[in-house]
Structure 1
Amino acid sequence: MNYNELRHFADSWGLVAMTVVYLVLIGWTFLPKGRERGDEAARMIFDSENENRDADHG
């Protein structure tokens, strides 16, 4: 495979592959468990802050 064939493949199918991966990763967040995991991740910093404060003043 020479450079021109590789470049043609990357220009056509590489773009399609990157688009599919992008759509899958964006769509993954809208799955039913995605909201729960997102909410848990958003609260994670506050949970560890409270645990550390309770342990220090114990």
Structure 2
Amino acid sequence: MKQLSVSRATIYRLVHADRLRMIKLDRKCSRITAESVDALLAQNGESDHHGD
């Protein structure tokens, strides 16, 4: 899985905007699904090519 190389605050903004999916494992532990990361990367890749 590719890493996004963004700040924690950006991750939370993307989760809040429903662009990433966070799963809470317990009170202090949560994870972002690989599927939502892949979808975000694919969406960003498509938008990068729209101006060509």
TM-score by length of 1: 0.35
TM-score (norm 2): 0.38
Structure with the greater alpha carbon radius of gyration: 1
Q: Which has the higher helix share?
A: 1
